[in-house]
Amino acid sequence: MLPGASKFGNPSSPYASVPADDGTSGRRYTTRQVQWSGLNRGVYIDTGTLTDVSGMTMKALPYLESDNVFADKYSYEGKRIINLAGIGDALIVVYNDGSAVKMDVFSPADSPVPTATGVIKSNAAGDYTYRSIVQFNVYKTPTDPIAGEFDRKVLIFPDKLSMDYVTEVSGNIEFASLGGTYPDIKLAAVQDSRLFGVDDARIYASGANDYANWDLDTATDYSSAHAWCSPTQADSRADGSFTAITSYGGHIVAFKEDFTHELYNNKNPFYLQELFGFGAIDQRTVHEVGGRLLFVSQTGVISYGGGSPQIIDNELCIDSYKRAVCGAHQGIYYLSVQDNDGFVTTYTYNTENGAWSIFDTGAALPDGYCSVGGRFYAAVDGGVLVLDDGAYGEWFFDTDIKTGGTLDVKSLTRLLVLASMAPNSSFNISLLGEDGAEERLYSYENGAVGDAMRCVRLAANNNMRHCHRLRIYGRGLVRVHNMELVYRTGGKLYGDTT
């Protein structure tokens, strides 16, 4: 752990790459960066933001600190993971083994092997449908909220299965069918002791305190405890199928790709409110983080807190989203995006300070994330990974393009950087050219003895340019505090006849 550390311990640029000093000298001046910021690919000249970054957490702002990395946890080689879920302190892995859809339960999470396994669907080769898994507490004595007891049920959709949940699930899981008359719910959420669900076009609410009660009101039999159902295409803007559902702020929020509904009232009849013209492209993008509801729409990442929705991904300069999988852990929203060329990038958004970074999860789009039992898991490329709080990998960040407040030709004569380094870490500084080429200015390896606080002070030569951009990179746990650049104006660039 670093001294005073927390727990966690490219656009084109107008650089001239060939300098030619004409022998004149101008004024010297200094710029200082004492507060770092996150990634910004849209505004990047003299902003203090980063033009590129990987493996750095924004939790330590105004300082920059290397982030933890994922480590292998469970192997599912030869199988395809469909999604992850967390119920209580148990991690649930849903996967297809080539012939059937199965569910492994690790109870508690972080168990070395599955404590229970069940078959969700037999003869299911090629079935990779997302499974919605929720917990429903059935109160045995609803009139006695203090001394009353309840049974914990786990419900699985769209298969319409249930199982008893106990603290330590073990052995073979025996699922019970919810019956052929049960609504064809594909995605579900629980609120106010009712099960809410959606199929493609309708939204449902079960009877009070009973996920199996679907008795609707009739002309002669109506009750506030009855079930409820409503179509949702009354507004032409709300056409299309449901893509997600969740509970937020005491209400049920249901999403289509380009529209969002919210349910009001806590008893039958419920009222369907047309919320706004943003939707969610996938159930796995919808997460409550830092008290706000975050999700990915077709046009941006949306943050909703009960008022007007806010677009929070302008700094990423992503025009549209088609495939994305997200997760949330300790105030961080993990956004994995696959672009039209199949390239996957995982961004992290810190809800406390609104800063973005990039996190390496590999070349494949994750099948799901899950935060349970204080650990954070990811299903990636035939395995389940866990975020290792004590492991750090390679990292880097590129500064903004620094003009020093003037576009005059200038040379960077001195560079100072203050950084803390844990054992077995490295720290490097390079000057970036307009073609991305690096000119290494400094390199240091910290051994295994102890922490180090270093003030890098070096002279930089042969770098006459209109503006400068630096890359700082390394491995292991490193915290970068602040930076100081000293310039000297004057001179001409090679080939400049003006």
- What is d(CA 254, CA 284) in angstroms, rounded to the nearest whole number? 13
Q: Give per-residue pLDDT as tens, 299-340.
A: 999 999 988 999 999 999 999 999 999 999 999 999 999 998
Other C-beta atoms closer than 10 Å to the C-beta of 435 total 9
Q: Which two tokens stand for residue 306?
A: 């009960």
Is beta strand 478-489 parallel, antiparallel or unpaired with respect to 64-66? antiparallel
The predicted structure's pLDDT at residue 22: 41
Residues in the chain: 498
CA distances from 412 to 35, 275, 336, 407 (A): 21, 53, 38, 13
The predicted structure's pLDDT at residue 9: 34
Give CATH for domain 69-390: 2.130.10.10
- Say which amino acid occupies 405: G
Residues 6+ apart with CB under 8 A from 23: 491
Q: Which two tokens stand for residue 405?
A: 């407040």
Whether this prediction's pTM lies above 0.75 is answered by yes
Helices H, strands E: what count in the chain?
Answer: 0, 42
CATH topology agreement for domains 19-55+395-493 and 69-390:
no
Q: Is 269:222 a contact under the CB 8 Å cutoff? A: no
Q: Is 81:430 a contact under the CB 8 Å cutoff? A: no
Rounded mean pLDDT for each run of 10 residues along the chain, 498 residues in total = 36 34 60 91 91 95 96 96 95 97 94 94 96 92 71 95 79 91 96 96 94 92 94 71 96 94 93 90 97 96 94 96 97 96 95 95 92 96 92 96 83 91 95 81 87 85 81 96 88 59
The predicted structure's pLDDT at residue 17: 32
The predicted structure's pLDDT at residue 153: 93
Name the phi and psi angles at 316, rounded to 5: -85, -20
Given phi > 0 = left and psi -120 to 50 = alpha, else beta, which region is 120? alpha
The predicted structure's pLDDT at residue 493: 62
The CATH number, out of the four listed (3.40.50, 2.60.40, 2.60.120, 2.30.230), of the domain defined by the range 19-55+395-493:
2.60.120
The predicted structure's pLDDT at residue 8: 28
Give the residue extent of every domain in the chain.
Answer: 19-55+395-493, 69-390
- What is d(CA 168, CA 456) in angstroms, rounded to the nearest whole number? 53
- What is d(CA 368, CA 110) in angstroms, rounded to the nearest whole number? 17
The predicted structure's pLDDT at residue 362: 82
The predicted structure's pLDDT at residue 142: 66
Strands (E), 208-315: 228-231, 242-248, 251-256, 260-264, 271-276, 287-289, 292-296, 301-304, 310-311
CA distances from 217 to 66, 206, 356, 494 (A): 58, 12, 49, 84
Burial readout 52-78 (b: 16 or more C-beta within 10 A, e: otherwise): bbbbbbbbbbebbbbbbbbeebbebee
Name the phi and psi angles at 330, rounded to 5: 50, 50
The predicted structure's pLDDT at residue 5: 39
